[in-house]
Chain A
Amino acid sequence: MKNRIKVLRAENNMTQADLANSLQVSRQTINAIERGKFDPSLPLAFRMSRLFKLPIEEIFQDI
């Protein structure tokens, strides 16, 4: 699954650590999601959606 988290993070001037802090996960998890190595759970995807104020389908694209 592809995602735009790296771009959205840059647009919001956030580091991986900042995003991890906001989402209550480790920085390793954010890195793995950004690199497409790990797909987040639905609750985490919703938390990202709320944080970036975007619908989930605008953050994640199924390929």
Chain B
Amino acid sequence: MSNTNSEWVSNTRRQTKQLAYWTLAWVISVAIASFGPKLLWNFNNTASLISIMLCLLLGAGMIRQNMRYINNLDELQRQINLESLSIALGVGIVGGLCYSLLDISNVIASDAEISYLVILMGVTYLVALVAGQMRYK
């Protein structure tokens, strides 16, 4: 039984590391796709398309790895993650739509940027995750 558990623990660590690697690779690909056209390939459409395709593929890999990671968690950790993800999704949809409405109705001077929405969802997920861990501590 102990061997099985140490396998489970090492598998969890491996899944966490792999998720970190996939996330890092995806973030780097997003940075390349964002800054590459101006700084690296002078707005060459083919290069831009390739970098965006790479970003898409690495993103798909990251999503798949995130699913594996969550499936490998124990039931309490999975519940905490599920609650955090649902809060982040809800805040993202409600907050994102309100932000878009502010832009459409010209209440805010600048255009609505999707990066703010990504930051909002990321921060919400992290805060909800920490709150969940504290609640079941």
* Contacts from A to B (Cβ < 8 Å): 20-22, 24-26, 28-29, 31-32, 37-38, 40-41, 44
Contact = CB atoms under 8 A, between A and B. Distances in A.
B4 to A, nearest CB: 6
A28 B76 contact: yes
B75 A41 contact: yes
Interface residues of B, number: 15
A44 B74 CA distance: 10
Interchain residue pairs A-B with the least CB separation, the first 6: A25-B74, A29-B76, A32-B136, A21-B5, A24-B8, A24-B5
Given A28-B136, A31-B137, 19 more contacts: A20-B5, A21-B6, A22-B1, A22-B2, A22-B5, A24-B4, A24-B5, A25-B76, A26-B77, A28-B77, A28-B137, A29-B74, A31-B136, A32-B136, A37-B135, A38-B76, A38-B136, A41-B75, A44-B75
Contact of B75 (A21, A22, A25, A37): A25
A35 to B, nearest CB: 9
B137 A40 contact: no
Contact of B76 (A21, A22, A24, A32): A32
Nearest to B74: A25
Contacts of B75: 25, 29, 40-41, 44
29 contacts: A21-B2, A21-B5, A22-B1, A22-B2, A22-B5, A24-B4, A25-B74, A26-B74, A26-B76, A26-B77, A28-B76, A28-B77, A28-B133, A28-B136, A28-B137, A29-B74, A29-B75, A29-B76, A29-B77, A31-B136, A31-B137, A32-B136, A37-B136, A38-B76, A38-B79, A38-B136, A40-B75, A41-B75, A44-B75
